[in-house]
Amino acid sequence: MNIPTVSAPSVAIHDSDARFPVRRIFCVGQNYAEHAREMGGDPERQQPFFFSKPADAVVPSGATIPFPGRTEDLHHEVELVIALAGGGADVAVDAAERLIFGCAVGVDLTRRDLQAVAKKAGRPWDMAKGFDRSAPIGAILPGAVPERAAAITLDVNGDRRQSGVLADMIWAPAEIIAILSTYVRLAPGDLIFTGTPAGVGRLERGDAVAAAVAGLPALTFDLA
């Protein structure tokens, strides 16, 4: 029997022929107050909660994504994504930024109808969040996290759907890294989606999506 050859997922690095190898993808839920409210949550500064996507869920900017199966309610969630060059467990907040390789714009695609069913039944969200091609991501810009005044936006077919600033985050990137490292040992190659502002909504076949964080390479994709 032949042992299968499997290629590792990777993400483009801005202005480089090199690529960033993806080890794991972590996501933070309800990290913007207005989004927490629109999802029926409490925006107070409670401990953040995390979920995961498979590494091969990444999709490059400019791609055409087949509309996923098993859903009639696919939603967009634009997010700042942190790419780690270092890791560790129980990382201190003041040391967390030194682990960052760079940042990118990402979209957490969500099968909202499956998520609602899972929530009601008290079951995991895996199939609502971690499906194939559920993590479109732009090129990673090496360096520090954009300033907190940076705008974060998402347009569908030229219409603005989501708009906010990174300062609206309940938990800042360094805090997210530190808290996540108390649950798992972080490592180079990890990506962290840091939450989405209000305005999440439905996507349809044929939609053109453009997502941006000021100062980072833009992300675009189409749904087939």
Identify the CATH number of the domain in which residue 111 sits: 3.90.850.10
Find all residues with CB under 8 Å of 116, minimum gap 6, and list them: none
pLDDT mean across residues, the chain: 95
Taking the C-alpha atoms of residue 63 and residue 65, their distance in angstroms, rounded to an integer, is 6
- The one-letter code for the residue type at 59 is V
Note whether residue 136 is domain-resident.
Answer: yes
pLDDT at 16: 98
In the chain, how many domains are there?
1
Asked whether the predicted pLDDT for residue 149 surpasses 80, the reply is yes
Closest CA to 85 of 187, 178, 209: 187
What's the CA gap between 222 and 215, in Å, rounded?
Answer: 22
Q: Which two tokens stand for residue 77?
A: 């969630």
What amino acid occupies position 29?
G
Q: What is the mean pLDDT of residues 86-114?
A: 98
Could you tell me if residue 26 is inside a domain? yes
Flag whether 13 is in a domain. Answer: no
User: pTM for this one?
Assistant: 0.96
Residue 35 has pLDDT above 70, yes or no: no
Say what the pLDDT of residue 30 is.
86
Terminal Cα distance for the chain, rounded: 37
* Residue 1 counted as domain residue: no
Q: What is the mean pLDDT of residues 176-181?
A: 98
Q: What is the pLDDT of residue 40?
A: 63
Give a yes or no: residue 8 inside a domain.
Answer: no
Q: What's the rounded Cα separation, in Å, for the pair 59 and 108?
A: 11
In a domain, 191, yes or no: yes
pLDDT category of residue 1 using cuts at 50, 70 and 90:
confident
Does residue 78 lie within any of the structural domains?
Answer: yes
Provide the domain limits for residue 149.
18-41+50-223
Gap between the Cα atoms of 61 and 75, Å rounded: 18
Band of the pLDDT at 38, cuts 50, 70, 90?
Answer: low
- Residue 29: beta bridge partners? 49
Q: Is residue 2 part of a domain?
A: no
